[in-house]
Amino acid sequence: MEPLRKTEKDIHPMDDLLRMDRIPHIWCPGCGIGTAVTAFAAGLAKAEIDLTKTCIVSGIGCTGRVAGYVKLDSFHTTHGRAIAFATGIQVANPDLKVIVFSGDGDLISIGGNHFIHAARRNINMLVICVNNFIYAMTGGQVAPTTPLATYATTSPFGCVEPPFNIPYLADSSGAVYVARWTALHVRRLTNSIAEALKKPGFSVIEVISPCAMYYSRINRLGDGLDMMKFYHDNTEIRHGEDTKNLDIGFQTKIIVGKFVDRERPTYMDSYNKWLSGTKKD
Amino acid sequence: MKYWEKPFGKEKPKVPNGEIHILKERCKGCGFCVEYCPKDVLEMSDEFNTKGYHPPKIMNEEDCVNCGLCETICPEFAIWCTLKEEVALEN
Ligand SMILES: Cc1ncc(C[n+]2csc(CCOP(=O)(O)OP(=O)(O)O)c2C)c(N)n1
Ligand code: SF4
Ligand code: SF4
Ligand code: SF4
Ligand SMILES: [Mg+2]
């Protein structure tokens, strides 16, 4: 077997942001999660933030493995609780920048309540939600993001429930920064991550990503590369688009871009202001 | 009549040229880098790595412009590029 590393020249520039003892990762060939992590590592480097004051939290799922592969202070929490955990970190030590990197099932289904309330309170954190339209790790069950009529292992006749539109949910709950990209838009995703890392408050970046194992197979969409080609031909960039208009159907056009970028006092701002006011009386 | 693009004596515009590095053993053969390299520098090889995947091979490295797209799109941290030199554009 060819050794992984022969000379200094064989060290990937992102190796120091990754836990190399755990690489190769578990993701299938053609899965987009690895690409989202690469964009994240590139975004971290681009934002030039203090990595000793940055931590990453994931829940459970294929995407939930991300925290374990990134060389920051990493927390792998229970299913759905990544945002609750990250809220604790942020409130206990407001100097830290917390990133929650998890799946659509983890964040929007079982963790949906934490998601809307962290947005409402405007807790300072960046949520990167990899949306593969499915519960991938457990075998491809319907998620609250599964588009209508899509096949899944628990919807053999096609999904009958309307899905959540994640940017609309984030926007209406109070998030200050909302963007959506696909795993193909690596550069724009990197820039968005770098921008959102510097934004105080609750930021959400949705990354539409191929699950080449369950979602694409049961729906006969080919492999990961075929799904990337689909994104290439069927996405449209519309910055500032009203988040109401961002529904995703089965193999319909996907609108991407930065939709929300506004200012609101963060939870800690309001808390400190309130506290200093009451103390004076 | 001929218009000169640049004042005399000014350097010709330069394009970067990159050197591509591939860690074949990390690759899972997804083909993203091959498909999306803007300069079609890469191609899937027939070679197998120990996991049984086909890693990409470099076809014409002199065309690589060190854009870094392969590096960012690769889900496996298996390919990247470094700047070799800046080459003056031909007329
Ligand atoms: C409390 C609890 N309920 C259910 C599960 C089973 N489970 C593990 S991962 C997962 C879904 C993950 O889906 P998603 O967050 O979309 O991640 P993906 O695998 O698609 O990246 C479920 C239901 C669990 N681990 N814990
Ligand atoms: S099951 Fe799907 S989401 Fe999970 S690693 Fe494989 S391709 Fe990726
Ligand atoms: S750096 Fe750009 S041009 Fe060079 S091989 Fe990679 S994608 Fe192609
Ligand atoms: S993108 Fe990476 S994993 Fe995919 S074929 Fe290229 S080098 Fe291999
Ligand atoms: Mg999922």
B76 touches chain A (CB under 8 A): yes
B59 touches chain A (CB under 8 A): no
Distances in Å between the Cα of A190 and the Cα atoms of A144, A158, A171, A207, B66 are 26, 34, 21, 11, 17
**Do the Cβ atoms of A137 and A281 come closer than 8 Å?**
no
Domain ranges of chain A: 16-280
* Whether B77 and A9 lie within 8 Å, measured CB to CB: no
Distances in Å between the Cα of A105 and the Cα atoms of A28, A132, A243 are 18, 9, 20
**What's the pLDDT at A34?**
98
For each of chain A's 281 residues, which pLDDT tens digit applies?
444 444 556 789 999 999 999 999 999 999 999 999 999 999 999 999 999 999 999 999 999 999 999 999 999 999 999 999 999 999 999 999 999 999 999 999 999 999 999 999 999 999 999 999 999 999 999 999 999 999 999 999 999 999 999 999 999 999 999 999 999 999 999 999 999 999 999 999 999 999 999 999 999 999 999 999 999 999 999 999 999 999 999 999 999 999 999 999 999 999 999 988 876 55
**What's the pLDDT at A8?**
56
CATH number, domain A16-280: 3.40.50.970
| Closest chain B residue by Cα to residue A224 | B30
Instruction: Give the residue with greater pLDDT, A229 vs B90.
Output: A229
Helix %, strand %, coil % of chain A (to 5): 40, 20, 40
**What's the pLDDT at A1?**
43
Helix ranges, chain A (H):
33-47, 66-69, 82-92, 104, 112-121, 166-173, 186-197, 215-218, 224-234, 267-280
pTM, whole model, 2 decimals? 0.94
Q: Count Cβ atoms below 10 Å from residue A15 Cβ, excluding itself.
A: 17
Q: Count Cβ atoms below 10 Å from residue A93 Cβ, excluding itself.
A: 11
- The protein residue with its alpha carbon nearest to ligand 1, atom 5, reads A79
A76 has which bridge partners? A58
**Do the Cβ atoms of A58 and A127 come closer than 8 Å?**
no
Pairwise CA distance, residues B48 & A29, whole Å: 14
**What's the pLDDT at A3?**
45
**What's the pLDDT at A114?**
98
Residue B11 gets which letter from DSSP? P
Alpha carbons within 13 angstroms on the beta-carbon side of residue A110 total 15
